[in-house]
Amino acid sequence: MDETGLILTSDIVIQCESYKEIIFIDKDDVVEFDKHSGERPMGAEITYTFFGDKQCDKCENEIEYKIIASEYPVGAVEHIYTECKGWSQDIEKNGVEDRIIAK
């Protein structure tokens, strides 16, 4: 049985900052590497970090992406933050907020 928690439901679309190439990152290539929890008044808050990197096919720019999402209270997505290096467009504009759900 799968663990509960936040999951990424579809591929990520980002844009390389050099020539604005559109780059697709398969959701199965995005690794959850960090999960930590803290206690708040309504119980546990769990923070998930999804991250990875990819080289642009066209300009060989190295792109790093990180999506940090918090689950609080358990079963609800509270905040989503993104951090980026090598790409110019905030992936939140591409709907990343809709791509992370609690299951």
Residue 43 structure tokens? 């119980």
Nearest to Zn ion of 22, 31 (CB atom): 22
Nearest to Zn ion of 29, 34 (CB atom): 29
Helix ranges, 1-103 (H): 96-99
Nearest to Zn ion of 18, 94 (CB atom): 18
Residues that bind Zn ion (CB under 5 A): 16, 18, 21, 56, 58-59, 61
Measured between alpha carbons, how far is 92 from 24 in angstroms, rounded to an integer?
14
Contact 33, 48 (CB under 8 A): no
Contact 76, 45 (CB under 8 A): no
Least separation in angstroms between residue 20's CB and Zn ion is 8
Least separation in angstroms between residue 61's CB and Zn ion is 4
Least separation in angstroms between residue 90's CB and Zn ion is 17
